Amino acid sequence: MTKGMKKLRIVVADDHEFVRRGIRGLLGAQRGWRVIGEATNGREVVEKTSKLKPDVAILDISMPDLDGLQATRQIREATPGTSVVILTMHESDQMVRRVLEAGALGYVLKSDLAAHLVKAVRHVSAGKLFLTPRVSDIVLNGFLKNANQPEPKENSRALLTPREVQVIRHLAEGKSNKEIAAELGITIRTVETHRAKIMLKLGLHSLAELIRYAIRSEIVPPPSESE
């Protein structure tokens, strides 16, 4: 079976029927993909995802009861095998950061839904981060605006969870995502999610910058001390 024919089970959440109908039409055209559940609010999608355990959940960010960010956090905690794609009209790098920090792997503007949703689902189902070209530009512009800001200082470590510090330490030691997953007893997909969130929280662009940050923040010793 080719990548395009990968079997996927999907849950869709949006409080507007016409949006859900449009999503069903897009996804239903993909061989082997099946929408196994729909929800009209955040609490309902958390419950359905917990019960059905789909491969992918597609969530509107603005929903009754629980918004998409709250629902994503609960889904990632209760059903870590489910990857989340967020649909939104918000075009800001701050919102992208909040979405990825919540645990989603995909960010798709509703205006780009028809052009990019299928690709987003395919990417996140494989544990890969997906931002549409417009969203990538938004994030890049956010980085460029802060290009002259000082590099992260030691107190930026307060932004990180204990698990994220562990991931940074292993990355700085040169370990692969697979090795880190085995070391920490988590999935490779979870390692990739942590890595993406760390880079966004700290405003870093590469593994080299992450290593420099880890040394400067004394998460790992400098090379001369470890030899």
Residue 16: pLDDT above 50? yes
Residue 105: pLDDT above 60? yes
Asked if residue 28 lies in contact with residue 35, where contact means CB atoms within 8 angstroms, the answer is yes
In angstroms, the CA 145 to CA 219 distance is 27
Query: 200 versus 124: which is more confidently predicted?
Result: 124
Measured over the CA atoms of residue 33, residue 57, residue 103 and residue 183, the dihedral's sign is negative
In angstroms, the CA 92 to CA 206 distance is 21
With cut-offs at 50, 70 and 90, classify the pLDDT of residue 116: very high
> Which contiguous run of DSSP H or E holds residue 33?
strand 33-39
- CA–CA distances in Å: residue 116 to residues 23, 133, 157, 161: 11, 9, 35, 32
Helices (H), the chain: 17-28, 42-52, 68-78, 93-102, 113-125, 133-145, 162-172, 177-184, 188-202, 207-216, 223-226
Query: 124 versus 206: which is more confidently predicted?
Result: 124
**What are 200-219's pLDDT values in tens digits?**
888 777 777 787 788 777 78
With cut-offs at 50, 70 and 90, classify the pLDDT of residue 60: very high
Nearest to 81 by CA among 178, 204, 193: 193
Residue 165 tokens, joined: 């510090």
For 179-209, letters b (16+ CB in 10 Å) and e give ebbeeeebeebbbbbbbbbbbbbbbbeeeee
Domains of the chain by start residue, with CATH:
6-142 (3.40.50.2300), 150-219 (1.10.10.10)
